[in-house]
Amino acid sequence: MKKLLLLVSLLVLGAACATQPSGNSNLTANMNKAGEMKSTAGPSEADLIAKEKSAWDAFNKKDAEAFGKMVTADYVEVLDRGVMDKAQSIAGMKDFEITDVSFSDWKMTPIDKDAALLTYKVTVKGKYKGEDLPPGPYYEASAYVNRNGEWLAIYYQETESKKMEPMPAPAKKESSSPATAPAKPPETGSDPIANEKIVWDLFRAKNWDGFASLLVPEFMEVEPDGVYDKSGSVKALQGMPMDMSAFELSDWKALPFDDDAKLVTYTVMMKGPKPEKDYHATIWVKRDGKWLGLYHQGTPAAAAAPAKPDEKKM
């Protein structure tokens, strides 16, 4: 929903990633609460935090079996390397050596009776493929769903916190026709991909009221430069001097949480002499018969590693 900058991010699996930091002595105790949380009632914030920390521990120990039991079969994660499935997440364990992690700013947001969202921040110490990881902080989000009485992670996303540089203003275009009132946005439905495309059409038309009408009151957006509520998100978009026609959207994927909540993930590419790529995700929920946006997060793609010189030519 907002244009992001390229920055190097960390594969920290929230609802699906794991490490037991040496500086957190209470993590083991929390894991004891997280084992088999089977209940028809929704989990408490403490329950989800315990499960999240338990998943971090399993990931850091490279315990694929334990980690696999904590996530759904259709689990996805959105990282600076793209959108990955469960198998890719487990395969990535071997590349990480995380020695310490610090958690803060935990918040649980109910999605519906069978789904909940957990957001928080982390700072880390460790290595990825032998290279030091940026310490962060990182914005983390994990969604949990009720599967046959057991609450499992289905979605995770991470974005490194970083101040964004101002966007270049688009070239001004002369218009001979008078301004017209924004059109009423099309009706949203159960297809989250179609809903997200409606939102981008509203961006291109600068129909900010129409965009706001498609968000729940408690809407939250996470970007590298911070966390926004509904009014903050709309205001930030209004103040950004961007030409939405310069963006290409691709790699659309939809993931149902249940009948009343669905996730859409996609890639945003900004065209131009310095193309930039971001990975986006939005949670759509059904409220009083209408599908509305509940949560959005953007993660800039990691910068490509510099090419190594051809040793044979040296």
Identify the DSSP state of 267.
E
pLDDT per residue as tens digits for the range 77-127? 999 999 999 999 999 999 999 999 999 999 999 999 999 999 999 999 999
Token pair recorded at residue 17 = 């990633």
Q: Cβ neighbours of residue 120 under 8 Å, at least 6 residues apart?
A: 14, 49, 52, 103, 104, 105, 106, 107, 140
Q: To the nearest whole percent, how much of the chain has pLDDT over 90?
A: 69
| Average pLDDT of the segment spanning 20-33 | 44
Compute CA distances 223 → 1, 2, 30, 139, 259, whole Å. Answer: 9, 8, 29, 8, 28
Q: Which of 267, 255, 281, 287 is nearest to 188 (CA)?
A: 287
- Burial level of 148, CB count in 10 A (0-12/13-18/19+)? exposed
**pTM for the full predicted model:** 0.81
Who has greater pLDDT, 81 or 21?
81
